[in-house]
Structure 1
């Protein structure tokens, strides 16, 4: 058990799924991105994913790619993600980082894990790292009692599903489709199938990401998963408003709508 699983179980006991929101740190600047993450918590987001900047975000769609590229151009560093984690934790929500492996490796895995814990973080999602080649990170995370969250997809074989579920702590991140992040017209039936397969492999908590952007989609996913993950739809509130205050105001509205969607699926 961990702070993350405790929170997910508390939410499940309320008869609903958790709303998990993602934002990259540093867009449009570090201070605004952190204030936006805190605003999400204040507007109904239960858990926040903090994205450290990375030059080759292979899982992310064009909206996130553009924001991360601009953040890097402005000198954002991995350490800024820990500042965001602290602010989220102080606001009363569990914070996890969603980081590609190379920045973690360059930072130093043991140092990364220790600094994440020191900032109040509870785990890390590693979208481009699989458990069979992630032993070094798993060991560093276990030493700090951090949750290790790995991804499964519609293409995941039964053997790899069992391996990934076994190595995951906190929750299993199920991608609802093949492809990169971004807004979709529908979530698709594959999401429920991936969640069911993860449960058959022993997963107790499965959260679904990629493609959720509306309250209706959030409600749909909330019927069969412990958590609904939203990123691009929230980030768009910042990218489509040149005034940071207007962007945060729009973000509050969007987060509240998604939170209502999740809660409507009780």
Structure 2
């Protein structure tokens, strides 16, 4: 289950669509679109800079969301990475009604797993993808395994996106084995995957990966971006 993270409508709408199409053409199973937000707490400096640049040029969350329905995702799954305020201000039930037929799930870094129910209780029918980290306790892993979502997002590093991690370390592989003991859901590794070597290491211990920072670095140059996403397959 291979995926790429793209900042929505960055550096402009046309370039974003070209990057999106490149990911689909390369054969990735899913795309994670970041909806620009003024306080991106989980983003490292590269993605945070891209998000702020997008916002400064007038990119609005509503425009990115509206454009989701026009994307030609073919057989790929579409997820968005966003923050609680965007969904809350949009209207939780309205958000669900408007995008449940487009999105396979939501990735919301500022909503801990135990608080997913807040959104479900208010009409959200789009699954929120649960997070697990190397520090997650066994009881928390069990609870995450029972939540909605078609995969578990395993955060391989501490901190924000763009850092480094030894993807095949015993700490990582043992924790993923532990998670698999509680669920049949796929385990997708994110944070710290920069190249083909990293992607292959991730696939050796998990069921999938998502590349963010390393891809966003090329998002202003669609030719280099296309070459990069093809290089990971």
TM-score, normalised with respect to structure 1:
0.80
Q: Closer, same or farther in 2 for the Cα pair 1:88/1:187, shift >3 Å? A: farther
Secondary structure (helix, strand or coil) at the match of 2:200 reads: helix
Asked if 1:162 corresponds to 2:142, the answer is yes
Of 204, 207, 228, 1:254 maps to 228
Q: Distance in 1 between matches of 2:70 and 2:181?
A: 37
Specify whether residues 178 and 57 from structure 1 end up closer, same or farther in structure 2 by C-alpha distance, changes over 3 A only: same
**Conserved? CA contact 2:168–2:202, under 8 Å:** no
- After the TM superposition, which of the residue ranges 131-140 and 38-47 deviates more from structure 2? 131-140
1:58-115 superposed Cα distances (whole Å, 9 cap, x missing partner): 1110000000011112222222333443344444421111112121111111112222
- Other-structure match for 2:109: 127
Structure 1 gaps, min length 5: 1-17, 239-243, 260-266
String of CA shifts for 1:23-69, please: whole Å, max 9, x gaps.
11121112321221121111232200011111111111000000001
Aligned residues: 231
SS in structure 2 at match of 1:76: coil
Matches for 1:1-266 after TM superposition, within 5 Å? 18-118=1-101, 120-139=102-121, 140-142=123-125, 146-184=126-164, 186-187=166-167, 189=169, 190-238=171-219, 244=220, 247-259=221-233
**In structure 2, what is the Cα distance between the partners aligned to 1:68 and 1:165?**
31
Q: Contact conserved, 1:174 with 1:191, CA < 8 A, in 2? A: no
Whether contact under 8 Å (1:176, 1:188) holds in the other structure is no
Identify if the C-alpha distance between structure 1 residues 160 and 197 changes in structure 2 by more than 3 Å, giving closer, same or farther: same
Taking only aligned residues, the RMSD between alpha carbons, in angstroms, comes to: 1.9
Q: 1:147 is paired with a residue of what secondary structure?
A: coil
CA contact (8 A) 1:177 1:191 kept: no
* CA distance in 2: counterparts of 1:137 and 1:24, whole angstroms: 24
Q: Deviations over 1:170-214 (max 9, x none)?
A: 100000111111153743523323322221222421100000011
What SS does the aligned partner of 2:124 have? helix
Partner of 1:172, secondary structure, is strand
Cα distance in 2 for residues equivalent to 1:231 and 1:201: 27
Alpha-carbon distance in structure 2 between the residues aligned to 1:141 and 1:134: 10
TM-score (structure 2 length as normaliser)? 0.91
* Contact in 2 for aligned 1:96/1:121 (Cα 8 Å): yes
Instruction: Give the direction of change, closer, same or farther, for the CA distance of 1:69–1:159 in structure 2 (3 Å limit).
Output: same
